Amino acid sequence: MIFLRTGLVEEDTTLAESLASSGHDLIAPSLIQTEVANALWKKKRKGAIDLEGAQRVCDHLPGFFKELIAVEPLLQHAITLSFAYDHTIYDCIYLSLAHRRKCPLVTADRRLADKVQGHPLTPKVLHLSQWQP
């Protein structure tokens, strides 16, 4: 099972699209919907997307995932990770889910991947550029 974390920069788009169409079962915390909506708002501020386009993306987003998992059961472990790594709770929710489901976390966030690599509290974490179809 492959797990995807947002944080894409434009050059990662092709790799992310390849992962999304790879046939792997992708899961994510439901938080991903809020994060994507916020990224769309940022794109709107730059004139890169209109309201209808943003709403279409949000409508189709759940279809990319086998499951969207509630955040609340992940919070206690995510707080532990957040304090251990001195890192945002948002990212640690993704780590907590990957840990709970015993699946790798594939992320476009190189800083996160480097920070937690090999740490005993986390699952296998791959930067998107390390993922192979």
pTM, 2 dp: 0.87
Range of the domain at 114: 2-130
Instruction: Tell whether the torsion through CA atoms of 131, 116, 99 and 94 is positive or negative.
Output: negative
The interaxial angle of helices 89-101 and 75-85, nearest 10 deg, is 120
Number of domains in the chain: 1
* End-to-end alpha carbon distance in the chain: 13
Give the three-class secondary structure for 131.
coil
Sheet order of strands, 2-5 included: 67-69, 26-29, 2-5, 105-107, 125-127
> What's the CA gap between 104 and 1, in Å, rounded?
7
User: What confidence tens digit (pLDDT) does each residue in 63-94 have?
Assistant: 989 999 999 999 999 999 999 999 999 999 99
Tokens of 20: 């999304």
More confident of the two residues 27 and 129: 27
pLDDT at 56 over 70: yes
CATH number, position 43: 3.40.50.1010
- Asked if residues 65 and 28 have their Cβ atoms less than 8 Å apart, the reply is yes
The DSSP string of 85-109 is HT--HHHHHHHHHHHHHT--EEES-
- pLDDT value, residue 92: 95
